[in-house]
Structure 1
Amino acid sequence: MGSRREKTNKKKMIKKRRFKRVLILIGIAVLASFAYVNAHLNNIKTVSISKKNEDLGIKDEEDGREVINIALFGGDSRKEGDVVHSDAIMVLSIDKAHKKVKLSSIMRDTYVDIHKHGKTKLNHAYAYGGPELAIRTINENFNLNIRDYAFVDFYSFEKLVDAVGGVDVDIKDMEVKEINRCIKEIAELKKTKPILIKNSGMNHLNGEQAVAYSRIRKVGGGDFERTERQRRVINELFEKGKNVDITKYPKILDSILPYVETSLSKTEIMKLGTYVLTNNIQSIEQNRFPTDEHSEGQFIGDIWYLVTDLDETEKEIHDFIYENMEESNIN
């Protein structure tokens, strides 16, 4: 009887030891992964901006709702020393209340009030006062609570596309000539040979072609469709990123991080990334503002602006970001 108990106790002890070893190995693996990512995050250019509500134009903290809003800016500087206008303006929302990630494009030509600069196009704010004024302008005109931003130059964005093996995009007949014009322009700036698109329909785009596609604005719905193209490429990247081989992570991190500028700390970036991964978020819901219903193009003087009912647009943005307003169709 005693020996049976001893054998049972021995087995339990062995199981406990094995379990502890497994936990230790898992812990080491997790720590190693975090240490690796943490080390690569040193490649990001971190910029400090004011956190004061007054400086950022924050009026309402949204009553403690569990939504983190981050401004995303895409620049289009052609050469060093160029004044950067934010040609792509988006709000990335981590919605913890509904466990969703949402992406809102805001039209760059939207007629808004910029602190100390009067009424003009939204994308001028970045040129006038960098990310802090750009954030303030979005917050004050649409009553948001953005505190942080990330900025990526369009021409370095191609490196991320190439790192995941390119993206598949359906090119319309009317877009072929324009995408090839943009490809040639980018290739000329880089002094490389352009790889042109031969036919419309589904095409597998490399980084340079994807950037050119995202810049098309002279055909179709102009800047309206341009924002859709930008979101479409981001959505394709998100889908590719979910299935990418873990061994490619180092290449992806090395490709994109040196070209990212942000006010987020390494800890904040890791927390947000961990939240998205651990909550198994499988898609990005997307929309564009102002909507057609509450905006129209107008010439004021000799300049074309997108004039919107700011109160209605604020309401629609809030419904999408904080509630469950239906996303727009980007296909």
Structure 2
Amino acid sequence: MRKKNNSKKLTTKKIILSIVGALLTLILIFAGCIFYFLNKVNTVKIDKDNLGVNAEVAQKAKENKITNIALFGIDAPVGQNGRSDAIMVLSIDEKNGKLKLSSIMRDSYVDIPGRGKDKINHAYAFGGPELAIQTINNNFYLDIDKFMTVNFTTLPQIIDSIGGVTVNITEAETKYVPGVSAGTQKLNGAQALAYSRIRKDGGDQMRTERQRNVINSLFSTIVKTSPAKYPTLLSELLPLVKTNISSTEFLGLGKDIVDTGATKLIENRFPCDFHRQGKTIKGISYQVFDIFEEKEELHKFIFEN
């Protein structure tokens, strides 16, 4: 009788060990797949000691479980820095379960380290992501040490890989976006790029809003995508991204984003209409504003709202 009981116990242990072994194998395979795809990202090194990170703000962000990441959209031939025509800060707010997207107008008149006063989008052309991040941190007193860059020339490929983006097109915008009519429209990659590049209707204020509309639709679509499609999606999208975020950091940030439970991005634009004014200096148009007031507005949006 004792032998039978011992035999049953051994059999049970074997079954449990087999199940645990199978689960561990699946986890290892899954982790291996994730790292395989993440290693396709174009990872670059930048000097984190040269980013102008504000130590006081970094501590505040840490205490409030907020991660700020710079997002750049450049429009340049492959291999060249180009100007960052889209400049945004993605804020992952774990504490309050929010994802926030702050657009910085590309014509903002700021101080670029080593270059003096100029348009903020020139910083990327002058010194790549390192100088661009330093310029944002120095002017807006932020703690950014991570970035992601996508070239606008690859935007159509990104949009098409998820099946398009849905945005609301105005009557005035239809003449700039081929093959669409006014109202809610699903845009393919080429149409989304044309929409994101519209400059004449509403100036840079509306241009940044259109870019946020595209990103918000991208985010919403990816959130609703079946996990079964993630491998194909990651394989297509990740090689188009340039970043200093490592594979392990990507996994952590992905978990942080999922943990917020957010299904949409909260958006804002800086400088806001209260503090800015269009001004021509030496024949060039800029957005001039009170940097201290605008810093307060941006911090309020990121850390308080």
Secondary structure of the structure 1 residue equivalent to 2:138: helix
94-103 vs 118-127, greater mean Cα deviation: 94-103
| Structure 2 length-normalised TM | 0.90
Spell out the pairing of 1:32-51 with structure 2 (5 A cutoff).
32-51=29-48
1:282–1:24 distance in 2 versus 1, CA, 3 Å:
farther
Q: Which amino acid aligns with 1:149?
A: F
2:189 to 204, 207, 212: 207
Q: Which amino acid aligns with 1:49?
A: I
1:211–1:23 distance in 2 versus 1, CA, 3 Å:
farther
1:241 to 222, 231, 245: 222
1:23–1:322 distance in 2 versus 1, CA, 3 Å:
farther
Q: Which residue of 1 aligns with 2:272?
A: 291
18-27 vs 109-118, greater mean Cα deviation: 18-27
Cα distance in 1 for residues equivalent to 2:259 and 2:138: 33
Q: Which residue of 1 aligns with 2:66?
A: 67
Q: 1:88 offset after TM fit, Å?
A: 0.2
Q: Deviations over 1:165-199 (max 9, x none)?
A: 1111111100011123xxxxxxxxxxxxxxx32x2
Q: Which residue of 1 aligns with 2:75?
A: 76
Q: 1:21 offset after TM fit, Å?
A: 5.0
Q: Which residue of 2 aligns with 1:300?
A: 281
Q: Which residue of 2 aligns with 1:217?
A: 199
Cα distance in 1 for residues equivalent to 2:69 and 2:110: 19
Cα distance in 2 for residues equivalent to 1:133 and 1:42: 25
Cα distance in 1 for residues equivalent to 2:16 and 2:189: 46
1:110–1:31 distance in 2 versus 1, CA, 3 Å:
same
* Matched-pair contact (CA < 8 Å) for 1:60–1:143: no
1:83–1:268 distance in 2 versus 1, CA, 3 Å:
closer
Q: How many residues align?
A: 300
Q: Which residue of 2 aligns with 1:276?
A: 257
Q: Which residue of 2 aligns with 1:90?
A: 88
Q: Which amino acid aligns with 1:200?
A: A
Q: Which residue of 1 aligns with 2:51?
A: 56
18-27 vs 114-123, greater mean Cα deviation: 18-27
Cα distance in 1 for residues equivalent to 2:251 and 2:194: 31
Q: Which amino acid aligns with 1:59?
A: N
1:251–1:293 distance in 2 versus 1, CA, 3 Å:
same
Q: 1:264 offset after TM fit, Å?
A: 0.9
Q: Deviations over 1:140-171 (max 9, x none)?
A: 00000111111100121222211111111111
Secondary structure of the structure 1 residue equivalent to 2:54: coil
Secondary structure of the structure 1 residue equivalent to 2:39: helix
Q: Deviations over 1:225-272 (max 9, x none)?
A: 111111111111111111112232122112211111101111111110
Matched-pair identity in %: 45
Cα distance in 1 for residues equivalent to 2:249 and 2:160: 26
1:82–1:28 distance in 2 versus 1, CA, 3 Å:
closer
* Matched-pair contact (CA < 8 Å) for 1:91–1:103: yes
RMSD in angstroms over aligned alpha carbons?
A: 2.3
* Matched-pair contact (CA < 8 Å) for 2:199–2:207: yes
Q: Which residue of 2 aligns with 1:156?
A: 154
* Matched-pair contact (CA < 8 Å) for 1:102–1:321: yes
Cα distance in 2 for residues equivalent to 1:282 and 1:201: 23
1:143–1:21 distance in 2 versus 1, CA, 3 Å:
same
Cα distance in 2 for residues equivalent to 1:10 and 1:223: 73
Cα distance in 2 for residues equivalent to 1:120 and 1:133: 13
* Matched-pair contact (CA < 8 Å) for 1:294–1:313: yes
Q: Which residue of 2 aligns with 1:178?
A: 176
1:81–1:96 distance in 2 versus 1, CA, 3 Å:
closer
* Matched-pair contact (CA < 8 Å) for 1:156–1:256: no
Q: 1:69 offset after TM fit, Å?
A: 1.1
* Matched-pair contact (CA < 8 Å) for 1:160–1:252: no
Secondary structure of the structure 2 residue equivalent to 1:269: helix
Q: 1:99 offset after TM fit, Å?
A: 2.7
Secondary structure of the structure 2 residue equivalent to 1:287: strand
Secondary structure of the structure 2 residue equivalent to 1:112: strand
Secondary structure of the structure 2 residue equivalent to 1:68: strand
Cα distance in 2 for residues equivalent to 1:82 and 1:51: 22
* Matched-pair contact (CA < 8 Å) for 1:162–1:207: yes
Cα distance in 2 for residues equivalent to 1:95 and 1:23: 35
